[in-house]
Amino acid sequence: MTTLIDGSVLEGGGQILRNSISLAALLGKPISIHKVRNGRKPPGLKNQHRTGIELAAEIASARLTGATNGSTEVEFAPGRITPGNYTADPVTAGAATLLLQISLPLLLFTPSATPSTLTLKGGTNATSAPQIDYIQRVFLPFATRHFGLKVDVDVRRRGYFPRGGGEVHVTVFPGADGARLTSASVMERGTVTRIGGIAHIAGLPGHLGRTMAEGATRRLAQRGFAPDAAVPVPVEIESRREKNENTVGAGSGIVLWAELAGGGVIGGSAVGRKGADAVTVGEEAANELINGLEADGCVDEWLQDQIIIFMALAEGTSEVRCGKDGLTLHTRTAIWVAEQLTDAKFDVTVEDSGHTIIRCTGIGYTAPTDSDLSNK
């Protein structure tokens, strides 16, 4: 029986598509998604989304219909997930990180323990998706520590809007012998133990990276995050100018992250753009990080929605303390998709302190064995 997914629910964007396709592939459930990206103008698939579901279809040996640009209805009937070496290229500045979001859960659960590789092309640093540095410094350290993921990411070439052309190599190590994801319990924030960062530029004068880093450092110090503050916090923001052969086009950006004693991590980022001076870009990233820290949760607003699918797949009960700003629309959408396609049970509560707690009893998903597949 085909499961129907309404792509206009809540956030109404590409996240519904990515999470639905990933879960359908893992669970062997044919799905039909209608009103795809109904909350966007124009609605329907763009290059980036089409490339992502085509990648998932290749990994999962799926029958895919409706995967054309502008399409508002997609049908996906998965088969066997196979480890291998896969390449995806939207031929635009479409985000490589969003291609990773749809494909990573599949390759974590291949029938054998054979590692897989992804060569993901497109944009690496844009405003409409997590920067690749955020994935490397915030998402993956958190997911590795708390869910047991093992993933390596190597940025071979940066690609900036509007030309794209970046290239990211990812190695995914699935669990051996049907290993399940571990449940996460991240309820104590603790102190800020360190703030790290990277200011990256390409095709531009080197001093702009240093200026971005200095702008972020000064802003953080104004809010009490500095080595010489009353409560000392080490702050280390690297400035990196990429070699011309390692980039396509010119661009810049900065990603910051705060490591918390309780095992959480908060990120902040900004992307350079025409008309914005480097100091302002650095301050924007710092302000984003400060806002995340002052919300007083263990994860930031972007990390909270990215971990929902892993909470649903993990074994046992996961619990994560979010900030006082409540759940984002993206997070509520991710929970809705997980509840449509899995038996995971989510419970969202708001404490007297104002913090939102997400608890999830996961399904303890394991990769099907060869005998399971032969008996289908």
CA 150 remoteness from chain centre = 15
Q: Is 359 exposed, middle or buried (0-12, 13-18, 19+ CB in 10 A)?
A: middle
φ/ψ of 248, rounded to 5, equals -120, 115
Q: Is 48 annotated as a binding residue?
A: no
Helices (H), 108-222: 132-134, 140-147, 207-222
What stretches of the chain adopt beta strand conformation (E)? 3-6, 31-34, 63-65, 73-77, 85-88, 116-122, 151-159, 166-172, 185-186, 192-202, 235-241, 247-248, 251-260, 265-271, 317-321, 345-350, 356-361
What stretches of 89-216 adopt beta strand conformation (E)? 116-122, 151-159, 166-172, 185-186, 192-202
Closest of 333, 277, 281, 284 to residue 304, by C-alpha: 333
Element (H, E) at 98: helix 96-107
Q: Provide the Cα torsion 271, 275, 279, 284; round to 10°.
A: -50
CB contact at 8 A, 262 and 190? yes
Choose the catalytic residue: 49, 200, 330, 355: 330
Active site (annotated) includes residue 207: no
Task: List, as residue ranges, the binding site for ATP.
Answer: 101
Which residues have a catalytic role annotated? 330
Task: List, as residue ranges, the binding site.
Answer: 101
